[in-house]
Amino acid sequence: MSLDWIYYAISWILLAWHSVWDTIGVPATAALGTNWSWILAIFFLVVTVRVILFPVFVKQIKSQRAMQALQPQVKALQEKHKGDRETLQKEMMELYRKEKANPLMGCLPMFLQIPVFLGLFHVLRRLNPDRGEGAKTLYGWTVDQFDSASAATLFTAPIAGKFGSTAEELARLGANGTTVKIMAGVLVLVMMGTTYLTSRQMILKTGWAEDPQQRMIQRLMLYGIPLSLLISGAIFPIGVIIYWVTNNLFTLGQQQWVLRKFPPPVTATSKPGTSGRNGTQLAKTGGLFGRSKPAAAPQKPAAPKVAAPKPGAKPVNPKKGRPAKRKG
Q: Average pLDDT by consecutive 10-residue portion of the chain (328 residues)? A: 88 96 79 88 95 84 76 84 85 83 72 90 91 90 94 93 92 92 96 93 77 80 91 94 95 85 57 42 38 48 56 56 53
What is the model's pLDDT at position 189? 96
pTM beyond 0.95, yes or no: no
| Buried b or exposed e, range 70-79, using 16+ CB within 10 angstroms | bbbebeebee
What is the model's pLDDT at position 20? 95
What is the model's pLDDT at position 316? 56
In whole angstroms, give the CA distance from residue 112 to residue 127: 25
80 by Cβ neighbours in 10 Å (0-12 / 13-18 / 19+) ranks as exposed
249 by Cβ neighbours in 10 Å (0-12 / 13-18 / 19+) ranks as middle
What is the model's pLDDT at position 318? 52
What is the model's pLDDT at position 243? 96
31 forms beta bridges with: 34
Contact criterion met (CB below 8 Å) for 11 and 239: no
Phi, psi at 31, each rounded to 5°: -120, 130
What is the model's pLDDT at position 75? 84
Residue type, 273: G
278 by Cβ neighbours in 10 Å (0-12 / 13-18 / 19+) ranks as middle
